Structure 1
């Protein structure tokens, strides 16, 4: 597949003049505003003609200079074929050391900055990209990677997809709790939430905080409901079982809740009171206990 069409003699002369002018501009700009230029580095396995190398050098010279300590990608050509397309791009490194890409998530953006295709690429075969160098590479997108029906051959750009860092898991308090607990109690809960092991993506679990017998023979169990998903969850009914240190069931029952929500990536404390008639063991060993919803059969 030809990536670049052959130039006429007039076009080659014009590009050579432009290349010389760009080289001079680069030399003049290199010391301005702390910008730096890179040298072009071809992968040793690439077999290129002199003309192809010249085209890449010309395209490389047209790219804007970078700041130190940057990793950048610039698209230089897009070729539609069959149901997919190939993007020819140049990866650039102005870090003080070589880097090795393992996998990168790339977005193709239209002229308005809207994503029109996305894909993750394994770049094990690219080897190291030395410091202060740029390397051309070809990225093959399939029809499944398209986010729109038609990919334009002009007015696009390619970019790294920046993943949002995982948000810190936080405490979520109902307003009634905010009004009832002291600042020190709230701080204690916040430290507890921060110290707990991380949840798996999408995991929701229940952790017992406190269990106390009431004067009327009931059992009050305070539970931390932990939501590890990226979405808020609504809970209307919660069936719970409480076991003591001996593994005996102390009590079990179901609770109806109204407009009870646990926000995404938060933990919410709540107290469930089991009435006397649901308490099955009168003198449980609460030195160690656990609470959990019954498993569905």
Structure 2
């Protein structure tokens, strides 16, 4: 493993790396003294890594050159990179100054040039890394390939850094999203009622998607018209092409069942979107349903 490191021991050149903080935890114990707020880490080698005494010494040398961190931070700093054909082995330190150990699952890492432009991006499964103890610094090797490069190749020696890709936070409030046809057909009073409804609903859990009934009525053609609020509590937009639905009236009996084809139907992240679904009379199992209470849901697979 020692051949991974460059022979140069110039600490100012070899270990200049930025610290990328991921979701810092509020510090309630550190004093207001900037020096007192600095956190020390100790080198931690994964128990399954079989390294020599000399290799450990090299890691200790690089660890000693790292900039100080504050308490309650997670950071990543580069050590070196070795290219092999169309792959790049990036050696980096991950540091934890929390008061407890942490475990990573999937993380997305960015490689940036001196201008801060991302030239490589890749998501890694760090389950094998296991727990990173409190106030420790652990080296890990990340394999990037040519396919992960976004630009014209890897920059020259030392002209790069590594960072976590920080996820964008969802808006603090769940929003109502109206299709253009709804925007044009609803009056101001109807829109206001919908906005108030969305604002007063219980919050969704992270990633939750559900359907809330707004109105059900029998139309002039004896069809069943059902208006739903499709709520997307995830941080990603969802697109729906086909939506099978079951409808039960107040008796609890299945009243209608059908599959609806949708075109360019999208519900943005952290928004709710109303939509009306019409069951033709031919699909009604009960032509005179009791609509004093009802529910609609996708059929169980």
TM-score, structure 1 length as denominator?
Answer: 0.66
- Structure 1 residue 88 and structure 2 residue 77: aligned? no
Residue of structure 2 equivalent to 1:69: 72
State whether residues 110 and 116 of structure 1, in contact with CA within 8 Å, keep that contact through their aligned partners in structure 2: yes
* Correspondent of 1:155 among 128, 153, 159: 159
State whether residues 169 and 193 of structure 1, in contact with CA within 8 Å, keep that contact through their aligned partners in structure 2: no
State whether residues 78 and 88 of structure 1, in contact with CA within 8 Å, keep that contact through their aligned partners in structure 2: yes
- Structure 1 residue 97 and structure 2 residue 104: aligned? no
2 CA distance for matches of 1:218 and 1:197? 39
The alpha carbon displacement at 1:111 in A equals: 1.8
* Correspondent of 1:210 among 212, 215, 223: 215
**Structure 1 gaps, min length 5:** 16-29
**Structure 2 gaps, min length 5:** 12-32
State whether residues 109 and 121 of structure 2, in contact with CA within 8 Å, keep that contact through their aligned partners in structure 1: yes
2 CA distance for matches of 1:43 and 1:186? 52
- Structure 1 residue 34 and structure 2 residue 37: aligned? yes
Higher helix share: 1
Q: How far does the alpha carbon of each residue in 1:150-203 deviate from its partner, in whole angstroms, 9 at most, with x for none? A: 112431111112223455653224445460238566423443474699655xxx
1 CA distance for matches of 2:168 and 2:58? 36
Which of the two has higher C-alpha Rg? 1
Residue 181 of structure 1: SS of its match in structure 2? helix
Q: How far does the alpha carbon of each residue in 1:221-277 deviate from its partner, in whole angstroms, 9 at most, with x for none? A: 351252648448799xx9999775543459x9x9999xx976513333356789999
Residue 116 of structure 2: SS of its match in structure 1? coil
- Structure 1 residue 285 and structure 2 residue 290: aligned? yes
Residue of structure 2 equivalent to 1:172: 177
- Structure 1 residue 267 and structure 2 residue 268: aligned? no
State whether residues 39 and 133 of structure 1, in contact with CA within 8 Å, keep that contact through their aligned partners in structure 2: yes
Q: How far does the alpha carbon of each residue in 1:18-70 deviate from its partner, in whole angstroms, 9 at most, with x for none? A: xxxxxxxxxxxx962722332323334331233x3333233222221111111
Farther-moved stretch of structure 1 (82-91 vs 152-161)? 152-161
Aligned-residue RMSD, C-alpha:
4.6
Alignment of 1:70-149 (within 5 A): 70-149=73-152
2 CA distance for matches of 1:6 and 1:209? 69
Aligned length: 265
Q: How far does the alpha carbon of each residue in 1:115-143 deviate from its partner, in whole angstroms, 9 at most, with x for none? A: 22222333344343332221222222233
The alpha carbon displacement at 1:84 in A equals: 0.6
2 CA distance for matches of 1:170 and 1:47? 53
Residue of structure 2 equivalent to 1:188: 197
TM-score, structure 2 length as denominator?
Answer: 0.65
State whether residues 38 and 133 of structure 1, in contact with CA within 8 Å, keep that contact through their aligned partners in structure 2: yes
1 CA distance for matches of 2:205 and 2:163? 36
Residue 254 of structure 2: SS of its match in structure 1? coil
2 CA distance for matches of 1:156 and 1:137? 17
